[in-house]
């Protein structure tokens, strides 16, 4: 999804998705601190993407006026489509965080809950027909508690998942999935029933567009309708980020073997929007290389091997609307540890063997354009060995073509270069239980939509364009980046925004 959390599809549509390929932080420069070890599904079908997106929606309510609802959306879609192919977004689910202004209104009139009915949630599909489908048809009803000090969020739908579609892909180009306008009605209630009238909520589509998924159109026409699903839950993300996983089929060749198709399952996290000229990274990145059983059988037959090890030495990430235009995520080879071989049994090789990696920095281009990353070629080696680990012959070269049609890992709208800048924080440390009052100094804070400590959202008050007061949320020990999401994107993380929990 773009993948993401609509982990992604939305109410979601498909989350995000996007994802990132593995890379070594030590090779690619200083990386920002991790967002916090997100997990990813492990059963994504070949050719599918799943992900999650967390974004703020600007909404208008009677009495309250303009306020922000934070929406998390997750779901599943394909990575490519044939011309004219029918497709649906599946596994759609998400959550809606009730804004503090609405909670305060409810408390002031004695309400204990808010009953909401979502009647319109437009999922837009540029490059497909129809160009929009209402994901809230029939309407979706949810209830959230209201109380002093209560931060309420509700699941959408209240149970199960949504399927959005069918759409039909155009003849060529790309299908871009995004979220449009939303309409809901809210009634504040207590034990005796409704209090007052119904509040109408009207939310505008994010501007600029935040892509939930980018799906390349290519290959033969006449393909069967596409609909994927996974059974594992999709994790959520901090506001302003997108995280997801996809499983890409790769056409590869191994020395002495015929051409074969392998799978590369990839997961990572990145900003949902990019200011012009800003550096950005894929974080919390990991993957799985899926070697088919037919190749294992052929390797055993040709060499008598009982084990194999190796490395990935070239993993190209191609970029448009950004620099550099290509980056080798495996400039420092990614090791494949020795594994036992059994005829007919495929191998799932984790990349890296443990932990996560970071790829970057890329730098976004000019405002108004689009930054898109796609997967390029990949190269590695496999060394056959006997049961004792002694090498058999020379290493075999594994080479994989860039996916065709192309698989977009992520596409971001480039916003004007007026994202928030954090120049100082005080204090720079606090307790694990949270509660520390922190003052952020910088620029571009007017209209700030969210503040995160690592992956934990925080309560905050904007004092001026240059000052924010924020309450540190609970967190595990260690340093985190403080990120501020403004109307034109996130601040670029740097050493001055590090907050340490102890």
d(CA 417, CA 18): 23
496: containing domain: 421-501
- Which CATH number does the domain housing residue 448 bear? 2.60.40.10
With H, G, I as helix, E, B as strand and everything else as coil, classify residue 105.
helix
Residue 126 sits in the same domain as residue 77 = yes
382, 299 Cβ separation under 8 angstroms: yes
d(CA 487, CA 447): 7
Residue 375 sits in the same domain as residue 445 = no
DSSP 209: -
Question: For residue 34, which of 304, 233, 270 has the smallest C-alpha distance?
Answer: 270
Digitized pLDDT (tens) for each residue of the chain, 502 residues in all: 333 222 222 222 222 222 222 222 222 222 233 333 334 444 677 778 877 777 777 888 888 877 777 777 778 888 889 999 999 998 888 777 777 778 888 888 888 888 889 999 899 999 999 999 998 889 988 888 887 766 667 778 878 888 899 999 999 988 988 888 989 999 999 989 899 888 898 988 887 777 778 888 888 899 999 998 765 555 555 555 666 677 788 889 888 777 888 888 777 777 766 777 878 877 777 788 888 898 899 889 889 999 999 999 998 888 888 999 998 888 888 899 999 999 999 988 888 877 777 788 888 887 777 888 888 899 999 999 999 999 999 999 999 998 887 787 777 777 766 678 888 999 999 999 899 999 999 888 877 878 889 878 888 888 877 889 999 989 888 899 898 887 667 777 778 889 999 9
Last residue of a domain, one of 364, 389, 415: 415
2 domain-assigned: no
The answer to whether the pTM exceeds 0.85 is no
The phi-psi region of residue 488 (left if phi > 0; otherwise alpha if psi is between -120 and 50; otherwise beta) is alpha
Residue 182 sits in the same domain as residue 317 = no
d(CA 492, CA 485): 10
Residue 408 sits in the same domain as residue 288 = yes
d(CA 222, CA 346): 31
Report CA-CA distances (Å) from 74 to 167, 231, 244, 334, 396: 18, 13, 9, 30, 40
Beta strands in 139-207 (DSSP E): 140-145, 153-156, 162-169, 174-190, 193-194, 199-203
What pLDDT, on the 0 to 100 scale, is given for residue 231? Answer: 57
What pLDDT, on the 0 to 100 scale, is given for residue 237? Answer: 53
Alpha-helical regions (H) of 246-312: 293-303
d(CA 157, CA 93): 6
Beta strands in 298-407 (DSSP E): 307-320, 322-323, 326-328, 334-340, 347-351, 357-364, 370-385, 396-400
Question: How far from each other are the two terminal CA atoms of the chain, in whole angstroms?
Answer: 35
Residue 255 sits in the same domain as residue 179 = no
Last residue of a domain, one of 415, 446, 473: 415
d(CA 154, CA 96): 5
Query: What kind and span of H or E run contains 250?
Result: strand 241-254
Residue 276 sits in the same domain as residue 195 = no
Residue 494 sits in the same domain as residue 375 = no
């Amino acid at each position: 999804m773009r993948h993401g959390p609509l982990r992604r599809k939305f109410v979601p549509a498909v989350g995000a998705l996007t994802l990132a390929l593995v890379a070594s932080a030590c090779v690619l420069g200083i990386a920002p601190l991790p967002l916090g070890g997100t997990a990813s599904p492990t059963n994504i079908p070949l050719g599918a993407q799943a992900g999650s997106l967390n974004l703020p929606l600007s909404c208008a309510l009677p009495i309250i006026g303009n306020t922000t609802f934070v929406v998390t959306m997750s779901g599943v879609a394909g990575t490519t489509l044939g011309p004219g192919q029918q497709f649906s977004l599946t596994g759609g689910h998400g959550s809606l965080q009730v804004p503090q202004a609405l909670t305060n209104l409810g408390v002031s009139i004695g309400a204990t809950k808010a009953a909401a009915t979502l009647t319109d949630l437009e999922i837009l599909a540029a490059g497909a027909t129809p160009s929009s489908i209402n994901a809230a048809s029939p309407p979706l009803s949810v209830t959230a508690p209201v109380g002093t000090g209560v931060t309420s969020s509700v699941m959408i739908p209240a149970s199960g998942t949504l399927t959005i579609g069918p759409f039909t892909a155009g003849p060529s180009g790309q299908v871009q999935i995004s979220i449009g306008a939303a309409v809901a009605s809210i009634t504040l209630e207590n034990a005796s029933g409704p209090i007052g009238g119904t509040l109408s909520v009207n939310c505008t589509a994010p501007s600029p567009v935040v892509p939930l998924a980018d799906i390349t159109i290519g290959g033969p026409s006449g393909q069967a309708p596409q609909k994927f699903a996974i059974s594992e839950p999709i994790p959520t993300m901090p506001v302003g980020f997108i995280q997801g996983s996809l499983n890409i089929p790769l056409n590869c060749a191994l020395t002495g073997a015929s051409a074969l198709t392998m799978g590369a399952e990839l997961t990572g996290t990145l900003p949902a929007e990019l200011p012009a000229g800003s550096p950005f990274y894929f974080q919390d990145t990991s993957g799985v290389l899926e070697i088919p059983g037919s190749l294992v059988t052929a390797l055993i037959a040709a060499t008598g091997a009982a084990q194999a090890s190796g490395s990935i030495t070239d993993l190209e990430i191609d970029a448009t609307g950004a620099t550099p235009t290509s980056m080798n995520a495996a400039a420092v080879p990614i090791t494949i540890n020795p594994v036992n071989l059994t005829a007919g049994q495929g191998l799932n090789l984790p990349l890296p063997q443990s932990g996560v990696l970071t790829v970057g920095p890329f730098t976004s281009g000019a405002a108004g354009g689009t930054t898109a990353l796609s997967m390029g070629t990949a190269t590695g080696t496999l060394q056959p060995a006997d049961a004792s680990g002694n090498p058999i012959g020379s290493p075999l070269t594994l080479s994989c073509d860039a996916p065709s049609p192309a698989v977009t890992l992520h596409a971001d709208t480039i916003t004007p270069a007026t994202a928030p800048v954090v120049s100082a924080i005080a204090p720079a440390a606090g307790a694990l239980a949270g509660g520390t009052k922190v003052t952020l100094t910088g620029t571009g804070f007017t209209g700030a939509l969210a503040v995160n400590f690592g992956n934990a959202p925080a309560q905050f008050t904007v004092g001026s364009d240059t000052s924010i007061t924020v309450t540190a949320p609970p967190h595990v020990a260690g340093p985190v980046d403080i990120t501020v999401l403004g109307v034109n994107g996130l601040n670029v993380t740097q050493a001055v925004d590090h907050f340490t929990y102890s």
